[in-house]
A = this chain, B = another copy of it.
Amino acid sequence: MRGAILHAPGDVRFETRDDPEIIDNTDAIIRMSATCVCGSDLWDYRGINPVSEPAPIGHEYVGVVEAVGSEVTTIRPGQFVIGSFFASDGTCPHCQAGYQTSCQHREFVGAGGAQAEALRVPLADGTLVATPEIPSDELLPSLLAASDVLGTGWYAAVAAGVQPGSTVAVVGDGAVGLLGVLAAKQLGAERIIAMSRHEPRQRLAREFGASDIVTERGDEGVARIMDLTRGVGADAVLECVGTPESMQQALRSTRPGGGVGIVGVPHGVSIDGEQLFYSHVRVQGGPAPVRRFLPELVELILNGEINPGKVFDLDLPLSEVAEGYAAMDERRAIKTLLRP
């Protein structure tokens, strides 16, 4: 089969690779219907995470099951499935508590490289969610978004404690931040402040439910949020970037007793204990346990209640994966969908 290989920073190639095979009896092999490029792939693409050797890349996927291992009981060949970027057994205490990305037997699905024509998914029963029938092509982008960015934005909103009536601020206008806006809206937020300087992203944020746009950053960004909330701060803030600046933006924009949901993978971030203490702000983050939310999200999509697929503003054949990365790196695209 063919798929993407990241050779070095800025150098992603479409190449022939070995077909994935069943390794464990709990595996499934899926034929990719669509995959995409994640903001977190850019950490590798930009060399911020070291790239030591050429490796498959990509961890977002929807597809049709081609084969399953002998111990797989709930997933069958021919089913259309969506899964999270971490495989999880669904039975350990952490899975049962809803933290499947901390599963005691978790495996990173992306190790197999989802930007490819086919993919091995470990722990298929615990990881994959099958739709009742093969969905129409127009639903593919939204279902694919559920595989990571929608579930991640959703977790950010849940971790931040968004409630009906909440005032929410979203730091970061990438696909995750934009879908954090959508999640906050679905969870009943009354006011949603999106922080963005990019006109097309501002437009999409408004479409997803943002009531206010803040273009300022740093001290000015905090002051603007304080202005908009009468000096109180937001009830819930979604940190969807992962830099020291964005973390400060989030912590300082939150009211005492409010929450920050952190889904931007922290790079060089440290939180001063005294600042956190005196802020009274509640903080929770982590690799989103997307699997917890998938059944609900898939249903919302199949019922046409949400359309998270709008975050894809570039749709390319998988063979043009290199351009897909470049467009996102240069912020010409919010998110690239790739079709094998």
Contacts and interface: CB of A to CB of B under 8 A. Distances in A.
Interface residues of A, number: 40
Contacts of A277: 262, 265-266, 285-287
Contacts of A97: 255-257
Interface string A101-126: 11010000000000000000000000
B287 A257 contact: no
| Number of copies of this chain that the complex holds | 2
A288 to B, nearest CB: 10
B273 A272 contact: no
A303 interface: no
Contacts of A278: 286-287
Contacts of A285: 276-277, 280
Interface string A230-260: 1110000000001000010000000111000
A137 interface: no
B286 A255 contact: no
20 contacts: A94-B232, A97-B256, A99-B257, A102-B256, A102-B257, A102-B280, A159-B282, A262-B273, A262-B276, A265-B277, A266-B273, A271-B276, A276-B283, A276-B285, A277-B285, A277-B286, A277-B287, A280-B285, A280-B286, A282-B282
Interface of A: 93-94, 97-99, 101-102, 104, 159, 230-232, 242, 247, 255-257, 262, 265-266, 268-274, 276-287, 289
